[in-house]
A = this chain, B = another copy of it.
Amino acid sequence: MPDASTLNFKPDLLIHARWIALAHRETLLEQHAVAIADGRIIDILPSHVARERYDARETVTLAEHLLIPGLINLHTHAAMSLMRGMADDIPMMRWLQERIWPVERALVSPEFISDGTRLACAEMLLGGITCFNDMYFFPHAAAEAAVELGMRAVLGVTVLEFPSGYASDAADYLDKGLAALDAWREHPLINFCLAPHAPYSVSDASFEKIQILSAQLEVPVHVHIHETTDEIRQHLEEHGCRPLHRLNRLGLLGPQLIGVHAAHLLDDEIAALARNNCNVAHCPTSNLKLGCGIAPIGEMLAENINVGLGTDSAASNNRLDLLAEMRLASLLAKGKSGDASIVPAWKALQMATLAGARALGLERDIGSIEIGKYADLTAVRMDTLELSPCFDPVSHLIHCAGREDVSHVWVQGRCCVFDKTLLHCENANLKNNARLWHNRIVTHLQPNAT
């Protein structure tokens, strides 16, 4: 990292903001600036001091904006953006078995992943998301798409026991995923997770192999758990225990685990997740939309479980929108518990930033606005009519703002969205590709339709 104290040192970028949210300290700075060099934050200081001290190559002034850490989407299947709204108002297992899986079997290919991930990245960046944790197929194509748009991604070495257009069996999924992991090892924007799909779709032998690999490679394990009561009941019938019990027996519970959904937990399961320093990816919209229920977030946070936020896919949400998930996480926890003071605004912002970074093992580099971390930053414009008046910008961010208020996004110091305009990809291309895939999907679902 360059030494900012050197005389005549020129930062690459100086961002002045009306407000800066240091979410990790629940501290709001006013009229401060962030100085950036080589992709990292090198200083945070009052704007009037920054103007004296730094002659940056580029200066951006955000006069009526709140600057926050870039949002981290802790669970998605990005390329499913192409199936957005394909199957709404349908229960989870029918949704998966009758709609999603058949289309995936028929159409998923590197081209599908490339087009779908680019569409998802564009949507996420425009909504202030700078990093996503993906579980899907053809991670090489997904990595290329994310890098093209300038976005940070953690890609899944997805593992399933059944075949898809991507791989034939668990060993084949692992081989292909690990090859991608190897190929992208040096890229600063790309990281990997091991991503066994779920206890109901992955065998003991595969989970054991994954646990060993996770320790060897020092990467997280990203897995759906306890999403539906049906899945838990079926697991009880087939394995004689609830899914988390089996994962515990197989040695999976630990700080490397990112358990997605966790909508249904017994008290001792919450205690086990806490004791083992597991992480949870809470996906409130998806859980409601598929009729899965409401995760016990209040109880998990009371046990100091690290809970991040995910959008899940655009087929079960249908927005890849963490502003909406922050708000809903706060609202649902209040409504479920009857306590209006839980998951207050700062906490919701931490869930969508630092908690996600910690779960991904990236808290040294991202998740907060701190000197030394990558400049993954999002600016939200707070002076619209819909946000007037503004008593507390952080409270407004959670309870009032929407992704439509996101104005600027930087990933590793590089601007990806400037004044609501996506910089590294053409909107028209993305929309045209989406239309082409829409037609292919409709033809597949209704082969006799014109």
Contact = CB atoms under 8 A, between A and B. Distances in A.
A344 interface: yes
A104 interface: no
Given A89-B395, A123-B386, A331 B288 contact: yes
Number of identical monomers bound together in the oligomeric complex: 2
Contact of A340 (B289, B395, B402): B289
B123 A86 contact: no
A444 interface: no
Interface in A249-297: 285, 287-294
Contacts of A54: none
A331 B289 contact: yes
A176 interface: no
A82 B289 contact: no
A293 to B, nearest CB: 6
A95 interface: yes
A62 interface: no
A181 to B, nearest CB: 30
Given A82-B389, A119-B385, A391-B442, A89 B344 contact: yes
A450 to B, nearest CB: 14
A435 B290 CA distance: 42
B90 A340 contact: yes
Interface string A83-102: 01110111110010000000
A294 to B, nearest CB: 6
B344 A392 contact: no
B335 A288 contact: yes
16 contacts: A84-B388, A85-B389, A85-B395, A88-B399, A89-B330, A89-B334, A90-B340, A91-B340, A123-B385, A126-B385, A289-B331, A318-B396, A328-B328, A388-B430, A389-B435, A391-B442
Q: What are the nearest 4 A-B pairs in CB distance?
A: A288-B335, A291-B340, A389-B438, A404-B404
